[in-house]
Chain A
């Protein structure tokens, strides 16, 4: 087993560790906050009212979530490399030492867990025995908690290391000597270049100008039926042509009664066109033109008002997102549609034919497809 003194690279110095740590802390914080935003969009809480504005809110935050998440890969590798010799310091007999080491262990374990399982999730590869979203959410709190405790413990050291210049001057450093700081500076530039590079190679799944460079992005925003990707096909959802054919009806229930509407009935209602992005928590997003009936017109036709939420039910035979609730702020927005058309054509079966939901600033998984029932909820029921 080596000792800390066996390591002689100037890259193990606190000045390098603190600088990479600062970038890593920033990326982790953005990733955590944008992930939390998505969580609260999917599981609304009273103290954080999230509405349909800005239209691009979910798109930008989830693009940022994956971009910062991916940028953490090289930053974490570089940080763990630079601090590696500290692993071989002799242990101390104190509670403070034990708590500090425990928080670091939790931080590293949870961050590695988030990165590895997160990257596998965007590739839709699930070789584990737990639900991804619940575990990802729990581990995110472990990451941010461990990070804050780590910063609290190391704050004096972080401050002095960030304030210190990279060259050693004539002072003897703990690790290798770097008289002009070129080795440390060069390493930090290399880490920055790799981090920027991996962002460029992946961000094209949501940043249109980078699309041609997106060699490592799991999605192309323009590839799919009607020029739009899909997460769940009709066949995966158990939705067949038999249940979406001529016999399909939209059941619309509200305080004043229930209506049954065919596609022709919907077409006879006021049609509206909106340009809205479809954005996924996995980081891809694409702008599209949608046509259909305003949800708020449907709500009002069965006695609802601007305080009414709507329960949306799909023809899907299984899955956690078969039923969703559209809060009143979204249902009452003029851009929220029961869409029957996409990019100038009739909605493709894999995009939710005969009718799907499209609303601004809303997670893709909650833009329910293959809708067959809308229930207008009174204020108390919502």
Chain B
């Protein structure tokens, strides 16, 4: 029996125990009236990602590739724009609860700043970072990449 087999067996066993513990807590520590809303929220994240965010990202990527056109331009802007898209998504996912929370805050020490301004400043930082990376790539990225190594995978 190899070390890898033992490791996989151990991970599988501990993982299955973790899943069982989670199911036990849901079934026996949460009131039954919590099950349906929890199930809805569990499924919603997957559906929103798989049916909306990922297809939207791929569609945007395809549109960008067709718009930018030339391979060298894609090499200059591609990852910067992917980073920007990821940055926008992340900032919005973190920032929107703060915006809503600020409107319903229980006391003035919760979200005490200016959440709308802060959200826009954060998005502006993403745009500035993207522009700087593209600017740098304009001077460093070559048009015709050559293979540099044999891949093991």
Contact = CB atoms under 8 A, between A and B. Distances in A.
Interface of A: 7, 9, 11, 14-15, 70, 73-74, 77-78, 80-81, 84, 87, 103, 105-106, 108-113, 115-117, 119-120, 122-125, 128-131, 134-135, 137-153, 155-156, 159-161, 163-171, 173, 179-183, 186-187, 189-191, 193-194, 197-198, 201-202, 215-216, 218-220, 223-225, 229-233, 236, 350
B79 A187 contact: yes
Nearest to B81: A190
B18 A145 contact: yes
Interface in B1-56: 4, 7-9, 11-12, 14-23, 25-26, 29-30, 33-34, 36-38, 41-46, 48-50, 53-54
Interface string B39-83: 001111110111001100110010000000000000100111011
A109 B45 CA distance: 6
B11 A148 contact: yes
Nearest to B61: A9
Q: Which 7 A/B pairs are nearest by Cβ-Cβ distance?
A: A112-B45, A145-B18, A123-B101, A148-B15, A190-B83, A164-B153, A186-B79
Contacts of A138: 22, 25-26, 29-30
B15 A183 contact: no
B45 A116 contact: yes
A170 B102 CA distance: 54
Q: How big is the B interface, by class?
A: 35 or more
15 contacts: A70-B94, A77-B90, A109-B43, A116-B41, A139-B22, A141-B18, A148-B12, A190-B80, A198-B94, A215-B113, A215-B121, A216-B91, A216-B118, A219-B109, A219-B110
Given A142-B19, A142-B23, A179 B146 contact: yes
Contacts of A145: 15-22
Contact of B78 (A103, A124, A150, A183): A183
